[in-house]
Amino acid sequence: MSRFLRGLTIVWVVLRYGLDELVLSGFSHPWLRRMRAVLTFGRRLDKPRGQRLREALEELGPIFVKFGQVLSTRSDLMPPDVAEELAKLQDRVPPFDSQIAVDTIERAFRKPLEQLFVQFERVPVASASIAQVHFALIRDAQGREREVAVKVLRPGMKTVIDKDLALMHMMAGWVERLSADGKRLKPRQVVAEFDNYLHDELDLVREASNAAQLRRNMQGLDLVLIPEIFWDFCRTEVMVMERMKGVPINQIERLREAGVDIPKLARDGVTIFFTQVFRDGFFHADMHPGNIMVSLEPQTFGRYISLDFGIVGTLTEFDKEYLAQNFTAFFRRDYKRVAELHIESGWVPPETRVNELEAAIRAVCEPYFDRPLAEISLGMVLMRLFQTSRRFQVEIQPQLVLLQKTLLNIEGLGRQLDPNLDLWSTAKPFLEKWMLEQMGPQRLWRELKAEAPRYAKLLPELPRLLYDFLGRKGQDEHKALQELIREQKRTNRLLQALLYGGMGFLLGLLAMRVLVQMLW
């Protein structure tokens, strides 16, 4: 019943904001235009279409807001007026009452606000689908005053998300049962992955630990800044981190006027992403412009500032190596190797012919090499990839859905920063270097260093272990010999019994023959 009511609510919001009219307006067929006129009769739809879409997504809740955030980064797929409105979903979702935020903080720490913060700004500086942020001042363990950002979870988020996810699980089950591509697309597994990420985002202690891990991973890169976490001020519903000062990355003209090298910024973004994915297997998976700033401080000028670590992606060593080999073969235009990797991994049926899959991949990818992002039609690429995957029964990999979403964000961000960015040539040297490190002598040396403490402990024990092994081996061989002797004795007794039985049988036949002759 709750899923049914939620479905009715979604339909009501769609009709109220005229989203059906937005869809039908994209078609020029006469009877569809007449249907649009009939469906919109009596409804006042005087607000701009982008505003209507944004307000509808805000009313529907956090899952729909996140969908709008992904769309907002793809100005190549969306009309400019719609993309501009959806960009407000990145950090300008209507805030909740500041007193609720204060009550949440005081309940989490069981202390009044004045005992926690030297100063607390009640007006939020940013508000998103899951939480909102307030600036504050704390005194750290050394007695120094530190500027911090306080993130407070929106009330009632779990209930709203659970209702939407229950509806998504139900619809995924329908798709899997009714669609011809249901088993290949694995909708239930994809929704289950999405379910995990969203519920993880509701725990701000988990988000704080994600930030701490990314901060450690990125320390030596000198391309990105991650805020410090103040663990004494972190709870499930509240997280306190270092206040970061910078310019939002989508304010490109302001950055350019400040002297930031925009093309380099675009290349650095690609490097950061591929480093997190292939070197660390732990990547920021919510990289829309609302979560990224650029530092203008003299010591860190031009560096990225990452925020909001509620959603991170992880990859196994197998996934990393498989993806890296695919990317490397792709950048080298070795389409045969790409096809072979798909078959080896089990992503396509084993009976698939390599040459046919190779030709299909070449037809999709070859037209887009050596082109800047501005000349690539992502919609056409996605459509042709979908057609190819359907033809060859390519199975969706749920564990990589988050990576694919992040790739869309990265490409959209790169398109905004530098439409002339050559994504392939920027990523190719990094991946080739990474593959050399993974497959070459550097990896062997790295693994030997990692195992050195265990080897150092094992080395003094080696003579005793060798003596014990040889002793056990001798005992085992003695036992085996004794068993062989016993088995040989059993065999000899059996042979003797057969021999004696055979001789007795022959003697019996001979005696019978002599007796018959005497009687005859």
pLDDT of residue 446: 60
Which one of 36, 57, 89 terminates a domain? Answer: 89
At 213, list the tokens. 């891990």
Going by C-alpha positions, the residue among 398, 407, 488, 458 that lies closest to residue 197 is 398
Give per-residue pLDDT as tens, 418-475. 877 776 677 777 777 777 766 656 655 666 666 667 666 666 766 766 666 666 655 6
At 31, list the tokens. 């009877």
Give per-residue pLDDT as tens, 350-384. 888 889 888 988 888 787 776 666 666 555 565 56
From 91, 164, 268, 286, active-site residue? 286
pLDDT for 36 beyond 70:
no
Same domain, yes or no, for 378 and 508? no
Same domain, yes or no, for 356 and 431? yes
The SS3 call for residue 180 is coil
Is the Cβ–Cβ distance between 332 and 431 less than 8 Å? no
pLDDT for 260 beyond 90:
yes
Query: What integer best gives the mean pLDDT of the chain?
Result: 78
At 98, list the tokens. 């500041």
Same domain, yes or no, for 422 and 511? no
- Residue 181 is among the residues annotated as catalytic for this protein: no
Range of the domain at 481: 468-519
pLDDT of residue 306: 94
Same domain, yes or no, for 354 and 490? no
Q: How confident is the model at residue 45 (pLDDT cuts 50, 70, 90)?
A: confident
Burial class (CB in 10 A: 0-12, 13-18, 19+), 480: exposed
Q: pTM, whole model, 2 decimals?
A: 0.72
Round to whole Å and give the CA distance between 13 and 6.
11
Same domain, yes or no, for 423 and 499? no
For residue 241, list its beta bridge partners: 149, 229
298, amino acid identity: P
Same domain, yes or no, for 269 and 311? yes
Round to whole Å and give the CA distance between 224 and 306.
7
Going by C-alpha positions, the residue among 239, 375, 402, 233 that lies closest to residue 313 is 402
Report the number of distinct structural domains present in the chain. 3
Round to whole Å and give the CA distance between 113 and 100.
12
Give the mean model confidence (pLDDT) for residues 246-260.
92
- H-run or E-run covering 490: helix 462-519
Sign of the Cα pseudo-torsion (291, 76, 196, 315, in order): negative
Residue 305 located in a structural domain = yes
Residue 195 located in a structural domain = no
231-245, 285-299, 402-416: range with lowest mean pLDDT: 402-416
Q: Which one has a higher pLDDT value, 258 or 141?
A: 258
Residue 19 located in a structural domain = yes
Same domain, yes or no, for 387 and 341? yes
